[in-house]
Amino acid sequence: MNILVTGGAGYIGSIVVEELVKAGQRVIVYDNLSQGHRDAIDRQATFIKGDLADVVRLEAVFQQHDIEAVMHFASSTLVAESVADPLLYFRNNVACGLNLFEAMLRHGVKRFILSSTANLFAEPERMPIDEDERIVPGSPYGESKFILERMLHWLDRSHGLRYAALRYFNAAGASPDHGEDHDPETHLIPLVLKVALGQREHIEIYGTDYPTPDGTCVRDYIHVIDLAQAHILALQALEEGSRVYNLGNGRGFSVREVIETARQITGHPIPAVEGPRRPGDPAVLIASSTKISRQLGWQPRYPDLRAIISSAWDWHRRHPHGYEN
């Protein structure tokens, strides 16, 4: 199958591309490299540098490559930035998403996987969070993803565009060849590992008075390879109809647990500095992935926090400054 992967030079997208190539698919990566890395793209994939705002270039991709399915990762993703500049996120995520949908429909492409987010659940009423939880986006970023989900709902009804929206929680870990290299870096595990690499003096803990066992926030970490496999399973299932899935381990790990596990793995003391809570940080966020497990047989292969952090540490030790280019 010819699969277009937008944002395939980014952290999650690049590892999905790697897994697709291993599965024998022909992959075309479309990325403007504003956040991604050329060196992150599997050498067996076709790379086209381009922006989803460039409708002429996007049209040429569909004309030249006989696209049969699309996996969409290209987006702006920083929650704080989206609060400061909502229009940037509606332009980059919603307007550019519309460009992509229009190109698909012009060329009869009816299979689509959306990289969605757990930021849809700012005020969960139940834990773990399943697909029936009420939607309360926590930011313009989360809102932009929900708008795309609603657009897909109506495109399915009106045009038969089959889609899967995958709402993931905290992607983490690495494959042997691909890892996490953001600028700026905002994710806890790579920030902790930067301390072990000597690139930061300490890690900040934002809030130690939450109603959790050790007073720090609890989050659900899912290995990025497990995430990639969920995308492949969801694509295979689209013949049976559109679907929405929450993706996580179903287990929560506190900030202190992450830091302590990283200390054990790296052998570094990783000093931590305690500070006040950040506005808007919920005490606990844990996914229920029962639906995708039941319907598609998906099971995390790397559910253990130690395995997740170990894989990330292995990659960061070999790439202490991230990708070269």
- pLDDT at residue number 278: 85
Is pLDDT of 324 > 90?
no
Quick one: 67 exposed, middle or buried, by C-beta within 10 A (0-12, 13-18, 19+)? buried
Domains of the chain are: 2-171+222-247 (3.40.50.720), 173-220+250-318 (3.90.25.10)
- pLDDT at residue number 247: 97
Give tens-digit pLDDT for 75-107. 999 998 999 999 999 999 999 999 999 999 999
152 backbone φψ class: left, alpha, beta (φ>0; ψ -120 to 50): alpha
- pLDDT at residue number 325: 65
- The mean pLDDT of 165-194, rounded to a whole number, is 96
Residues with a catalytic annotation lie at: 141
Cβ pair 17, 29 in contact under 8 A: yes
Give tens-digit pLDDT for 238-296. 999 999 999 999 999 999 999 999 999 999 999 999 999 988 788 999 999 999 999 99
- pLDDT at residue number 282: 86
Percent of all residues in the chain with a pLDDT value above 90, rounded to a whole number: 96
- pLDDT at residue number 280: 78
Give tens-digit pLDDT for 99-129. 999 999 999 999 999 999 999 999 899 999 9
Give tens-digit pLDDT for 15-69. 999 999 999 999 999 999 999 999 999 999 999 999 999 999 999 999 999 999 9
Output the average pLDDT for the chain. Answer: 96
Give the max Cα distance, the chain: 57
Percent of all residues in the chain with a pLDDT value above 70, rounded to a whole number: 100
